[in-house]
Amino acid sequence: MARDAEQDAIELLQNLGLKEYEARCFVALTRLPFGTAKEISDVASVPRTRVYDAVRVLESEGLVEIQHTNPQHFRALSVGEATDILADRYATRIEDLDKALHEVEPRDDRDEEPSQEVWSLSGREAVAARTHQLIEEASTELILVVGAESALTEALYKRLATAADHDVDVLVGAASSTARSRLCERVPDAEIFETELDWLDGSADEPSIGVLAMADRNALLVSSRTEYTDGERTESAVFGSGFTNGLVVIARRLLSRGLLAERDPADRTGQ
């Protein structure tokens, strides 16, 4: 188990921009109060001649301290200090990327997307990001039906609460009483209702619904989750917009006739 954690840490550090030997040396130093190049080499399984290069890079990144004795001793910053440094660097790079991408000039000036288009996307992060964007763009009404309770993340709670604070009519449905209680507590200005759609949970052979979100009765996202026998989960979604979009029309009428019938009988037509 410890070996798995060590390998995970090395891979995550590489994802954050360190090279393999640099990541190995840093993880090795987190296991030692301090160490010489030889000690680091033994723990990290890195050639001793490469330890010096790796440690110099780590020092320049502010992650390692050096004691200029003979032989030299090296010490890693505390885990908290190191993660703060990496978080700041990562955030700065994301800000720079955001600025650069917004400054990229488009190649043409096309009209708005056709109202009948439906787009698909995959990956839990991508689905969550699009769901968050849909919530943020709602101006009058937001309907969210939660199928998988794991969809109720801190980020989702915050965006729902912000939408409600901005006078958006927020309605959130969940099947379980536990989920509804949490929603009432975290989003007190939203209207929480009980869903009676058993098909949200899917079956052993079918995907389950993650979330169904509709903003201003004009934009819709539906995500599904599939869990494989090895425990791996995947999530995908379809997204469409436009009042006359077929997917949006069907979902709007389903919501109006079913989930929202008790709230406003006049809405049964979906118009």
pLDDT, tens digit, 9 for 90 and up, residues 13-62: 999 889 999 999 999 999 999 999 999 999 999 999 999 999 999 999 99
Residue 260 predicted with pLDDT over 70? no
Percent of the chain having pLDDT more than 90?
A: 46
How deeply is 101 buried, as exposed, middle or buried, from its count of CB atoms within 10 A (0-12, 13-18, 19+)?
exposed
**What pLDDT sits at residue 151?**
83
Residue with tokens 């010096």: 52
Question: Quick check: pTM over 0.85?
Answer: no
Q: How many CA atoms lie within 13 A of 77 on its CB side?
A: 15
- Residues sharing a CB contact under 8 Å with residue 207, sequence separation 6 or more, in sequence order: 224, 225, 226
Position 90 confidence tier, pLDDT thresholds 50, 70, 90: confident
Instruction: Please check whether residue 100 is in contact with residue 178, taking contact to mean a CB–CB distance below 8 angstroms.
Output: no
Instruction: Name the residue among 23, 44, 7 with its Cα closest to residue 86.
Output: 23
3-state secondary structure the chain: CHHHHHHHHHHHHHHCCCCHHHHHHHHHHHCCCCECHHHHHHHHCCCHHHHHHHHHHHHHCCCEEEECCCCCEEEECCHHHHHHHHHHHHHHHHHHHHHHHHHCCCCCCCCCCCCCCEEEEECHHHHHHHHHHHHHHCCCEEEEEECCHHHCCHHHHHHHHHHHHCCCEEEEEECCHHHHHHHHHHCCCCEEEECCCHHHHCECCECEEEEEEEECCCEEEEEEEEECCCCCEEEEEEEEECCCCHHHHHHHHHHHHHHCCCCCHHHHHCC
Give the chain's domains with CATH numbers.
2-100 (1.10.10.10), 118-269 (3.30.870.10)
pLDDT band of residue 205 (cuts 50, 70, 90) is low
For 164-194, how does the pLDDT look when each residue is reduced to its tens digit (9 = 90+)? Answer: 999 999 999 887 888 889 999 999 999 998 8
Tokens encoding 134: 């849909």
- Residue 205 sits at φ, ψ, to 5 deg, of -105, -5
- Per-residue pLDDT tens digits for 210-229: 888 999 988 889 888 876 55
Report CA-CA distances (Å) from 115 to 138, 158, 226, 246. 18, 30, 29, 9
> What is the pLDDT at residue 246?
75
Whole-angstrom distance, CA of residue 166 vs CA of residue 199: 32
